[in-house]
């Protein structure tokens, strides 16, 4: 008999991985305090190392110069990213009036200047930017334009269809609706203004600073930005990982401390009823027979008359957003079995736990 072919170590059997992680799958949510000088993608490196998996995602990008809360999902929980990315956000921003940069942040080149406004004028203008507004994303952003990220087009206009190599074309970002729930001036030390903003998902604080300045006949850019909350999740709950302020160019340096990696492992929040309640999703306990049916994508008729309306959360949005879907998290024996949705009277699977692929089959 031929000897079995050695196809190398399994991903979870690499040297240096704690023994418990070699057999225990990780799945859950991690609240991470992102350092400035590191992209959101780079900030995931220590999480991937701590849990020995590449199946990790964040649920809302923070710019490289920014700091603050990143909600990170690990393991099969990455399929739930949309449940977190739609949460409202809270920021603290330092706006520098008098100069606008091409990136609208401190890393860009100054492209325009204007007079520094008076405090009274700034306070008077802020209500105009509260509520539902139309906002154009920054040129240097991850928004797709003609199938290409806007920041790539800003750097290389020839990537746009119809623009020859070496050519140029002015990129116009389309406005889109966003909601500013609250906008408060915390401090004014000319030319710097410190603002606290609570806003809907998809809002660019860089664009908000630009538009406020233009309305005042001035120019501005962000000097610093801190995300302090995502929905009901607060920066105060987040775990930090030290390292160089600027990891730079995808560098993974500074993530070698085992105590810090262990702190990430301990901070992982399991997919439990408390977590889903913070997302405004109702939780239901189901029996063994129902759990077996769910694990195979079986009929959801047993939910008729049982699933309550989502509890909602004052921390999710003000005012509450319209909910086209009724969602419920199904638990069996304390473990998540599935996330289900009801639309137009029809129940469907949004997520099935226990290693099953996400299902989208509908059952009446």
Helix or strand run (H / E) with residue 46: helix 45-51
Buried b (16+ CB within 10 A) or exposed e, 61-73: ebbbbbbbbbbbb
**Burial of 249 per CB tally in 10 Å (0-12, 13-18, 19+):** exposed
3-state secondary structure of 23: helix
Structure-token match 């400035």, residue found: 36
Rounded Cα distance between 120 and 258, Å, is: 51
What would you measure as the largest C-alpha separation in the chain, in angstroms? 87
Rounded Cα distance between 57 and 336, Å, is: 20
Rounded Cα distance between 348 and 359, Å, is: 8
Give yes or no: 63 in active site: yes
Rounded Cα distance between 208 and 45, Å, is: 31
Catalytic residue, chosen from 6, 13, 63, 146, is 63
First to last CA, the chain: 53
Residues carrying an active site annotation: 63
């Amino acid at each position: 008999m031929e000897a079995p072919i050695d196809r190398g170590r399994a991903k979870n059997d690499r040297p240096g991985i704690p023994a418990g992680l070699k057999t225990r799958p990780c799945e859950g949510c991690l609240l991470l305090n992102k350092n400035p000088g590191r992209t959101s993608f780079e900030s995931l490196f220590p999480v991937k190392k701590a849990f020995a998996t590449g199946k990790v995602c964040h649920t809302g990008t923070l710019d490289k110069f920014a700091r603050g809360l990143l909600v990170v999902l690990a393991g099969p929980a990455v399929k739930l990213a949309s449940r977190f990315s739609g949460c409202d956000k809270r920021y603290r921003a330092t706006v520098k009036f008098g100069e606008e940069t091409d990136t609208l942040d401190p890393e860009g080149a100054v492209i325009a200047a204007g007079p520094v406004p008076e405090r009274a004028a700034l306070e008077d203008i802020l209500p105009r930017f509260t509520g539902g507004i139309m906002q154009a994303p920054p040129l240097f952003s991850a928004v797709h334009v003609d199938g290409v990220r806007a920041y790539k087009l800003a750097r290389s206009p020839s990537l746009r269809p119809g623009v020859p190599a070496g050519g140029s074309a002015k990129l116009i970002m389309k406005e889109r609706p966003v909601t500013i729930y609250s906008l408060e001036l915390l401090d004014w030390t000319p030319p710097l203004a410190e603002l606290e903003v609570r806003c809907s998902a998809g809002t660019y604080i860089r664009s908000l600073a630009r538009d406020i300045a233009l309305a005042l006949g001035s120019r501005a850019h962000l000097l610093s930005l801190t995300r302090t909350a995502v929905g009901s999740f607060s920066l105060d709950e987040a775990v930090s990982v030290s390292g160089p302020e600027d990891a730079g160019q995808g560098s993974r340096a500074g993530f070698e401390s085992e105590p810090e990696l262990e702190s990430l492992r301990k901070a992982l929040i399991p997919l439990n009823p408390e977590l889903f309640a913070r997302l405004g999703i109702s939780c239901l306990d189901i029996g063994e027979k129902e759990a077996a049916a769910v694990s195979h994508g079986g009929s959801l008729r047993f939910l008729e008359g049982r699933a309550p309306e989502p509890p909602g959360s004052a921390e999710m949005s003000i005012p509450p957003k319209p909910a086209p879907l009724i969602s419920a998290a199904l638990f069996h024996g304390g473990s998540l079995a599935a996330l289900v949705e009801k639309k137009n009277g029809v129940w469907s699977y949004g997520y099935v736990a226990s290693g099953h692929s996400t299902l989208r089959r509908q059952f009446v």
